[in-house]
A and B are shown apart, each in its own frame.
Chain A
Amino acid sequence: MEFKSEMLKYWDDEPVAGYKVEEKDIVMDPLNNVEDALFAFIMGLMY
């Protein structure tokens, strides 16, 4: 099940703004973990 929202800035195929492809191994997981926590917190308000 694919999940997308323009509100969340996940690094998927393309780097997020401000980062380069070659930084992927360093920054992708930490950045995506922030988006996950933000998503989970807001969803937690909804049930």
Chain B
Amino acid sequence: MKLTAEQRTEMIKKAIMCEKPERVPVISKAEPSYAIQYAGYDLKKALWDPEMIVKATDKMYTDIYCDAGGNMPRFPLIYKTNGSKAYVPRAEDDFVQHPDVSGLLAEEYDEYIADPFKCIVDTVIPRIYPVLAEEGSNGSLNYLRAMISDNQVKSKYLAGCAAVEKKHGVINIRRGAIEAPFDFVADLLRGFTGISMDIRRDPGRVLAAVEASAPLMYRLAKILNPNPGTIPSIFMPLHMPSYMRTKDFEKLYWPSFKKLVCDLVGEGYTMQIFFEKDWTRYYDYLQELPTGVIAYFEDDDLGVVKEKIGKKLCIMGNYPITMLRQSTKQQCIDKAKEIVDKAAPGGGYLFCMDKSILDLSDAKPENLIAVSEFVHEYGVYK
């Protein structure tokens, strides 16, 4: 039974607020690169042509059941134009890769803490995007090229996706993405290697930099998603905690992250937070987060998660996409049943994979179709 957009919106909103909807909503994490290959298009050609990605998404939504989705691919046009050293289209198909970079040197922490945005413009951008900092008019023109390419490709993609979502009644539950303040410092500013040393050598400056970053993330969230509401949510992938000692997480990561989430949820936003890897050590902290969070888990057992935080937070994730690649259709369905039986009772649950499906080899389409249809039919609340 196909649902209307209104029915889907209603049940997703109920699930997010930890209520019991009519059914378990099925959330798609099949990325555009998967849709392109599923539709039989050339990956490189399609990544340069947002209208081709939209056509591929149309085919995917026609064949593979879902109630909601939402994504923003990394377009090679943008990164070729801005000359990024942090996001680099790979030679064979222009799928964008992310090497570890360090845009801020350890001795530049104080400059960053004093005025983070000024430091980003003056110091970090020239290091990660040297073409934007070329002398004279070249640098200005390259900034304009970067901004124009960004606007052109994203506006075409978003308009096309909106039309396809309307056609299929699929709900976009994501608008805008930000980072936890610590991850913002860790990712492109200091890099994984740099931040790992800084935590031990100079935790005071790390904390000051993290605290200085929080207002930037708050401001960015409100610009990217100007109308607070239950959906669409603001996406926030969390990167570093599973690599940190608990005592460092408690001091350096948690306070600014919690405040940012609480402030935005307090203003009426939903935060879709991707708890990457294993969060077992941190369940007691997560209990402090407010209702209005979609807690998206990768490795955590949703039965345990449900017991620990399921009364306050809407949970989703943990269906292993490796099964979609390696297992039989029946084994895939059995796993879906196992997870739904653990996570769905009482509501507050969205069915979803444990991570984004990027490549056709990540998931056999027949398995993805079978699992999505099974959950839609099986996940009915009595």
Interface residues of A (CB under 8 A from B): 1-8, 36-37, 39-47
Contact = CB atoms under 8 A, between A and B. Distances in A.
17 contacts: A3-B215, A3-B218, A5-B117, A6-B115, A37-B223, A39-B220, A41-B147, A42-B120, A42-B121, A43-B120, A45-B82, A45-B84, A45-B146, A46-B103, A46-B120, A46-B188, A47-B177
A36 B33 CA distance: 30
Main secondary structure of the interface of A (DSSP, over half): loop
A43 B103 CA distance: 13
Contacts of A3: 215-216, 218-219
Interface in B187-224: 187-189, 214-216, 218-220, 223-224
Interface of B: 82, 84, 103, 115-118, 120-121, 124-125, 128-129, 146-147, 150, 177-179, 184, 187-189, 214-216, 218-220, 223-224, 259-260, 263
Nearest to A44: B150
Nearest to A46: B188
Given A42-B125, A44-B150, A47-B178, 4 more contacts: A5-B118, A39-B223, A40-B220, A40-B224
A2 B216 CA distance: 9
Contact of B117 (A1, A7, A47): A7
A28 to B, nearest CB: 16
A1 B84 contact: no
A5 B188 CA distance: 20
Contacts of A45: 82, 84, 125, 128-129, 146
B372 to A, nearest CB: 30
Across chains A and B, which 4 residue pairs bring their CB atoms closest together, nearest first? A5-B117, A3-B215, A1-B215, A1-B218
Contacts of A47: 177-179, 184, 187-188
B220 A2 contact: no
A7 B115 contact: yes
A46 B263 contact: no
A16 B117 CA distance: 19
B216 A43 contact: yes
A41 B124 CA distance: 15
Contact of A43 (B187, B189, B220): B220
Contacts of A1: 214-215, 218-219, 259-260, 263
A5 B116 contact: yes
Contacts of B216: 3, 43
A46 B184 contact: yes
Contacts of A37: 223
A8 B150 CA distance: 21
Interface centre among A37, A40, A47 (most CB of B within 10 A): A47
Nearest to A7: B118
Best-surrounded residue of B116, B117, B147, B260 (most CB of chain A within 10 A): B117
Nearest to A41: B147
A45 B83 CA distance: 11
Count chain A CB atoms within 10 A of each CB in B116, B121, B129, B219 and give the residue with the most.
B219
A41 B145 CA distance: 12
